[in-house]
Amino acid sequence: LARASADKNAAGSLLEPINGIAKESGSLDNGGNDRLAITGDTGEHKAVDGGNEKPEKADYVASEGDESESFSDIDDAEVDGYLHNEEEKVMKKIVWEAMNWEYLQEQAAKEAAAREASLASNLNCSEDMLAARELLSAASANAAKSRKER
């Protein structure tokens, strides 16, 4: 029953943009109260009179609980459309880098300038300061290592 309710809610939410277009174009006869419904597991479509009906309380409670616990109303094919396999990830990265090459060059220039500034400051400081920096980097590495182990 919960699955059927979730399927009904999913079908309604997917058809909302279509209904909005139909209302604007005036293609619905009775002022926009007609809606398409998907019936049963066969996926048949039929026009139904939406009117001013309110959902029954039992349907509302069942759908509310189902939505908060799982995404069972989303088809596996739709989810697979959003998730990328390794080859698609590589292709997407290549396309993004090609489209944003200026940004990548700017970031590389910023990193190079930061490295040069760091080297210059390391050359102009005392031995105590170098020892303190080494101690800080060792402490940071140990903290990162302990976080990984947890």
DSSP 82-124: HS--HHHHHHHHHHHHHHTHHHHHHHHHHHHHHHHHHHHHHHT
CA 71, CA 66: separation in Å to the nearest integer? 8
**Smallest Cα–Cα separation from 32: which of 46, 49, 17, 44?**
49
pLDDT tops 80 at residue 58: no
Q: Residue 130 is inside which H or E element, if any?
A: helix 127-149
CA 35, CA 21: separation in Å to the nearest integer? 12
In total, the chain counts a number of residues equal to 150
pLDDT tier for residue 21 given thresholds of 50, 70 and 90 = low
Specify the pTM.
0.33
In contact, 6 and 63? CB cutoff 8 Å: yes
Per-residue tokens: 41: 């597991």
User: Which pLDDT belongs to residue 73?
Assistant: 82
User: Which pLDDT belongs to residue 118?
Assistant: 85
Q: What is the pLDDT of residues 104-141, one digit of tens each?
A: 999 999 999 999 988 887 777 777 887 888 899 999 99
In contact, 70 and 6? CB cutoff 8 Å: no
